[in-house]
Amino acid sequence: MRIGILCSGGDAPGMNPCLRAIVRAAVSIGDEALGIMHGYEGLMNEEFYTQPDGTVFMGLRSVSGLSNIGGTILHSSRSQRFTTEEGLKCAANVLQKYHIDALIPIGGNGTLTGALELSKVWNGQIIGLPGTIDNDLLGTDYTIGFETAVHTAVEAVDKLHDTAGSHDMMFFVEVMGRHCGDVALHAAIASGSEIVCVPEIPTDPENIIKHLYNIKKRGKTSVLAIVAEGDDSGGATNLRQKLIATGECPYDSRVVILGHIQRGGIPVPFDRILATTLGVRAVDALHEGETGKMVGLINNKATLSPLEEVICGHRCVDTNMIKLLQIMAN
């Protein structure tokens, strides 16, 4: 079987170990693995990963040392052209031209939506893998890259705690997450932050002011608020402005936007193990004849879900964890 592998959308720490797992699993059972550069855009442009000696097929050694490397050696992209009928047909023609039997795209909701559309114009098998820091995909309890992003965010917030404490002030820290507040919520709980604002729950500036007054009365001299970029207040900068506009915010404050720092870095062991487990299962699934599915981790077990079910919505934060934060923040 000839398997094409690509990474698409925002990169996520763990994409490299995932590629390593797919290539090693495939090659050890006699498959051919072709790395496709720059996601779907590179597929349409016939860009394949080439080893220094000019070999196109990825061998066992071509993925050596990738366990602890962030980003993706295949590079990634967001392709507008691939969302068009012309782009999809072009991608299908390239897959046919190079006799590729199966495709494993690694990415988030956009990547898997693209995979589903491609399956309508191409006869090969497709098994997707969840690679995004956002943890916003249905069909998996964790996406590859999420744990590392939380780790990065917590490290930054821990440092801001020191400065907030030294200056008796408040920080609004914006983290990534357009649809799901998991990075914000997990980072907030792990760092002992007082406030979290997530896309799934409306943010009420008056409630926040009340909470700030209460904790100030109880002697808290500094505060950390973690705000997901997709929160309905419009992100950390807007939320801060709204609180200041009330004229009643009891803390002096600053905004820190963590941005793309959260997407880079050495994948933490959890992401490496997740990437390896799901990558190997994807190759097995292809040999079982499966197609049009994503492999995710559900209740600690690699599980296949139809792409239609994965892309029809977004994973939401666990509201029990919001309660956890509220108890801790008191």
Residues 212-231 that bind ligand F6P (CB under 6 A): 229
Catalytic residue list: 134
Type of residue found at 304: L
Window 252-291: residues binding ligand F6P (CB under 6 A): 263
Report, in Å, the least distance between residue 54 CB and ligand F6P.
32
Cβ closest to ligand F6P, residue 124 vs residue 235: 235
Name the CA dihedral angle for 24, 64, 295, 302, rounded to a multiple of 10 degrees: 80
Please tell me whether residue 236 binds ligand F6P under the rule CB under 6 A: no
Closest CA to 255 of 271, 279, 235: 235
Helix/strand/coil for 1: coil
Residue 145 CB, nearest distance to ligand F6P (Å)?
9
Residue (of 306, 279, 257, 236) closest to 58 by Cα position: 279
SS3 assignment, position 29: coil
Answer for which of 41, 47, 134, 174 binds ligand F6P (CB under 6 A) is: 134
The set of residues, in sequence order, having a beta carbon less than 8 Å from that of 295 and lying 6+ positions away, is: 127, 128, 129, 130, 278, 281, 282, 285, 302, 303, 304
Rounded Cα gap, residues 189 and 145, in angstroms = 18
Residue 23 or 156 with smaller CB distance to ligand F6P: 156
d(CA 113, CA 201): 26
Report the residue count for the chain.
330
Site residues for ligand F6P, 150-209, by CB under 6 A, read: 176-178
135, two tokens: 């943890």
Of the candidate spans 43-51, 128-136, 242-250, 276-284, the one that interacts with ligand F6P by CB under 6 A turns out to be 128-136
Q: Among residues 77 and 221, whose Cβ is nearest to ligand F6P?
A: 77
> Per CB under 6 A, which of residues 61..80 are in contact with ligand F6P?
78
Interface with ligand F6P, residue 113, by CB under 6 A:
no
Strand partners, 35: 5
**Does residue 10 belong to the site contacting ligand F6P (CB under 6 A)?**
yes
Q: How far is the CB of 262 from ligand F6P (least distance, A)?
A: 7
Q: Which is nearer to ligand F6P, 179 or 272 (CB)?
A: 179
* Sites of contact with ligand F6P (CB under 6 A): 9-10, 78, 108, 132-134, 176-178, 229, 263
